[in-house]
Amino acid sequence: MSLALPPYPPSRYSGDEGEVSARLKHADEPPDYELGGTKYRYLATQASTDGDFGLFRVDIAPAGGGPGPHFHKTMSESFFILSGTMRMHDGRDWVHASAGDYLYVPPGGVHGFRNDADEPASILILFAPGGPREAYFEGLAGLGDMTDEERSEFFIRHDNYWVQ
C-alpha cells in the first residue's frame, strides 16, 4: 500500500556540489544566558536559520517554575523533555510529562510548562518559524521594573498572549 505524502517544499538551494555551511554547538559550551538558576542554550536562532526555526535547550532549576497558559499567533512551539519531570499545559489541563515525552502546539494553541519537582529538568523548545526568542528570554529579567503597560507591550512584541 502506498502512502499519499505531501510534496516537498520548493528547492531553496540551487547549487550542484553542496557547500560547507553546517554549524556545530558542543554540549559542554557554557549557557548563552542564565536567569534565576535556569540556563538557556541558543542552539539555533532565527538569525542563524534564516527564520526557519529556533531551537533552544532550557535547563530548569529544581522547583524553577515556568510560564502559565499562553499562546502565540505567529509560530508553533514544540517541547521535548530531555530529563526530569515537568508539568505541561496541553490547552485543557496541567499534565505530567517526563524524559522522552513530546508536546506539539500549533499557532494559537494554549500551552504552558513548569518544573515543580525537587529535581532539575531539561527541555528542548522548537519554534517554527523562528522568532527572536533569545530577546524574549533575556527580557524576562526586567519585567519587575516595567509598568503594566510596558509589560503588556513586551509580551505582545514577543508574540506571547496570556490566558486567564
Q: Tens of pLDDT along the chain (164 residues)?
A: 678 889 998 999 999 999 999 999 999 999 999 999 999 999 999 999 999 999 999 999 999 999 999 999 999 999 999 999 999 999 999 999 999 999 999 999 999 999 999 999 999 999 999 999 999 999 999 999 999 999 999 999 999 999 97
Which pLDDT does position 149 carry in this prediction?
97
Which pLDDT does position 147 carry in this prediction?
97
| 75 inside domain | yes
- In the chain, how many domains are there? 1
| 14 inside domain | no
- What's 60's domain CATH number? 2.60.120.10
| 63 inside domain | yes
| 25 inside domain | no
* Structural domain span for residue 89: 39-162
78: alpha, beta or left? (left if phi > 0; alpha if psi -120 to 50): beta
Rounded Cα distance between 39 and 68, Å, is 19
| 65 inside domain | yes
Give the global pTM: 0.92
Rounded Cα distance between 5 and 154, Å, is 40
| 15 inside domain | no
| 12 inside domain | no
Rounded Cα distance between 68 and 94, Å, is 10
Which pLDDT does position 68 carry in this prediction?
96
| 103 inside domain | yes
Q: Which triple of cell numbers denotes residue 47?
A: 538569525
Which pLDDT does position 3 carry in this prediction?
83
Coil, strand, or helix at residue 70? strand
How does DSSP classify residue 148?
A: H
